[in-house]
Amino acid sequence: MFDGQGSQEVGAVSKYPQQCSSLEQSMKVPRAWWWDFILHASTFGLYTMFWLVGRLREVRRLGQHDVKPWLWFFVPLFLLAQLIALPRLTRYLRELERANGVPVWGASRYLWITGVILVSAFFNVQERIATPLWTFVFAMLVWGTLFTILEARFNTLKRNLDNPPVGEAGRGYKWWEWLIAVPMVCVTFIALPYLSLGALGVYDIDDLPGGEVYVDAEERFQFPVPTDGWVRVSPGTFAQDEALLEMRGPSEDIWAIVYHYEGMSLEELAHDRRQTLYGSLRRAGCEEFRQFSGNSLNVSTQIICTGMDLNMPSMWTTGIVESDHGIYELIVHMTTPAATYQRRKPELLRMTEEFEVL
């Protein structure tokens, strides 16, 4: 998959001294390990894809392997490809180390391969099941560490060539690498602290008992809390406008808000909400159901909009109840991996369907 036909052992490098001398001169300057760690760990694997292509070009220059570097761009995306490619990559590196008098990578390479495959397996699982934010951050740090270790071995090899590349480390990067990596690093360092605060419960006020009905302290409204894990959070955590209640759900990116409106009809609010929710999703579809709220004569509307957001299934559902004291609305949002989405969807719909004004 990753090699062409007619590969030869890299131990034959010493038989081509003139060719190797010119090729070594074209090798990339060893890069600063700390900056490569940041790029690997904060670009969600995108930088790693370009990085592998560059390292395989160097393998092809130094050795006699007929590799196709562009194929390695896809290695981080596919777990099965890694099972073939990573052992092959470490074998190439060992042969180059042996041919150039560098201490050969020993049995620890198997730990490295296992580590990369385990992290990749975690990312594959995360695409189906929602996991806490800290697990994703930890996995990205491990990913960055593993590829920094591999970078260090390549740097040691380069420094021990007959004609090692010289110059400033920053020149080892191409302009398009900076164009892609720098914005992603900035976004990560800006967004991560905010997301981490939420994951650590900085905005939490109190837990909402699962399996019970939450009744507002002023007895204005109520709704069922289907499972444990719901937490009341500080005002302004999710709502841009003033809300009566804000809650964080049991999985990442599940939350709910309760609003109160005066001087607006149910029909007006329902129309505005349908337009807003429909426009917020790709491949969106919306349904609306009307009924009497509980045992009262208050009319309630439940709107359900589903679609895709950030390449994950997403749902907005809202329960709107018209009463003598104005209109109350419970909005519930979920954007989460498919398996978690299917499991949580019925319970979130129940929240808005049984939302009542007291």
- Identify the weakest region by mean pLDDT among 62-66, 135-139, 175-179: 175-179
pTM of the model: 0.69
In the chain, how long is the greatest CA-to-CA distance? 92
Confidence at residue 348, expressed as pLDDT on a 0 to 100 scale? 95
- pLDDT-derived band at 173 (thresholds 50, 70, 90) equals low
Residues of the chain above pLDDT 90, percent: 36
- pLDDT-derived band at 158 (thresholds 50, 70, 90) equals confident
Confidence at residue 193, expressed as pLDDT on a 0 to 100 scale? 67
- C-beta separation of 206 from 223 below 8 A: no
Q: Tell me the average pLDDT across 91-95.
A: 93
Q: Pairing relation of β-strands 221-225 and 212-215? A: antiparallel
Confidence at residue 2, expressed as pLDDT on a 0 to 100 scale? 53
Nearest in space to 252 (alpha carbons), one of 128, 339, 125, 133? 133
Residues of the chain above pLDDT 70, percent: 84
- pLDDT-derived band at 23 (thresholds 50, 70, 90) equals very low
Nearest in space to 172 (alpha carbons), one of 274, 30, 41, 279? 30
Q: How many CA atoms lie within 13 A of 344 on its CB side?
A: 31
Residue, of 69 and 170, whose pLDDT is higher: 69
The 10s digit of each residue's pLDDT in 283-321 is: 888 888 888 776 777 788 999 999 998 788 999 999 999
- C-beta separation of 258 from 232 below 8 A: no
What lies within 8 Å, CB to CB, of 328 at 6+ separation is: 220, 221, 244, 258, 259, 260, 261, 320, 321, 355, 357
- Identify the weakest region by mean pLDDT among 37-51, 208-222, 326-340: 37-51
Residue, of 218 and 193, whose pLDDT is higher: 218
- pLDDT-derived band at 10 (thresholds 50, 70, 90) equals very low
Residue, of 305 and 131, whose pLDDT is higher: 305
What lies within 8 Å, CB to CB, of 126 at 6+ separation is: 135, 136, 337
Model confidence at 54: pLDDT above 60: yes
Confidence at residue 133, expressed as pLDDT on a 0 to 100 scale? 74
